[in-house]
Amino acid sequence: MEKQTYALVKRNYLVPFVLVTSLFFLWGFAHAILDVLNKHFQEVLDITRAHSALVQVMFYLGYFVMAIPAGLFISKYGYRRGVVFGLLLYGIGSLLFIPGEYWMSFEFFLFSLFVIACGLVFLETAANPYMTELGDKETAASRLNLAQSFNGLGCICGPLVGGLLLFSDEGTSHISFPYMLMGIVVLAVALVFSKIQLPEIVHEEEAGGEAASKGLWSHKLFVFGVFALFCYEIAEISINSFFINYVVDDGWMNARDAAVVLSFGGLGLFMCGRFAGSWIMRRIRAERVLLCCALGTVFMTLLIVCNLGVISLVALFLVYVFEAIMFPTIFALSLRGMGVNTKRASSYLMMSPIGGAVGPVLMGYVADNSNMSLSFIIPFVAFCVVLFYAWTAKHELVEE
């Protein structure tokens, strides 16, 4: 009962919480539209699934390359400037799709996505740990899940807008349009953040204390958390990347309808899962919720691998529910007790999306050489690692 007395957000941090939460929608949109872009390039440029997966490779390579520089930048200049710089890169990369449309060069589109990803690294490296600090540590995972729920809303809009524009009779002529809109909106938001003041979180009470003296890599749960997030990204991005391929290949629907179903079905359930997870974690410890959800994802992906027809299709949608709370929960649990090392630890955690570059290539290779159902063995193995992390976290984080 005592845990229910903790506030989700401290009252003096309510406005910063609302402002920074808006950023989660923006990068959710950028991530989710990739899943439509992947299938679109397969059709327009006549490339294989494994080749089209380079969309995810270049995008998530940006996370790996820029994570440490982003952490250093934010540690030196603060959260607000990190957000503004990230928004500028995001906006510029989006507008590069305008000349890319005329050249229709796969390589130039990949470069544009790389620039966008570099901007998103700054946003996420700043916003994710910032959210964990805007209230009591006991509600950090719940608070981050609530903010990440708006990331889910962006994920719904991404495939919806992208699918309606790209999977049409004039699909190629509209390829830059969603990105042009993104660029204009993002640069406008950058202007807003350049004019406001965000309170910096200073760990004065912990500077020079145990968290600092132990060092970053002596925190076992943090180290395991980096690997667990890497595996989670392998699973999540692989499933999103080939959702459309899976339902189309099995004859359930065409690509245009599949993009809409991905938005409202899969990613809609994903968003609901995060809202529900945030509410549940106000009452049940985050590591316990994570363990239950990890068990759910392992079982559901196994059903998909077994290729059981409509049962496998239902399991595919349920994966979105169970996986919804994983990233913010692992992120928050891995930062627990980091104190003065929080910003630096966050930059390492934000290297984990490189898993999004590895997973689709592996899954695409398996699919090209067998079938889409069997390719789900890749996310199945990845979710098994998350399950082991959840089990470890449950036993290491003792009740206070």
What are the tens digits of pLDDT across the range 185-206? 899 989 988 887 777 666 544 4
Residue 50 contacts residue 242 (beta carbons within 8 Å): no
Give the domain ranges of the chain: 12-198+207-396
pLDDT in tens, 262-298: 767 787 888 888 888 888 888 888 889 999 999 999 9
pLDDT in tens, 341-356: 777 788 888 888 888 8
Q: What is the pTM assigned to this prediction?
A: 0.75
Radius of gyration of the chain (CA): 20
CA 155 vs CA 129, 150, 158, 262, 373: distances in Å: 21, 9, 5, 9, 24
- CATH 3.40.50.1400 describes domain 12-198+207-396: no
Sequence-distant (≥ 6) Cβ neighbours of residue 259 within 8 angstroms: 36, 39, 159, 160, 162, 163, 164, 166, 167, 244
Cα 212 to Cα 331: distance, rounded to the nearest angstrom: 19
Q: Which helix (H) or strand (E) holds 234?
A: helix 220-249
Cα 369 to Cα 114: distance, rounded to the nearest angstrom: 28
Cα 126 to Cα 350: distance, rounded to the nearest angstrom: 10
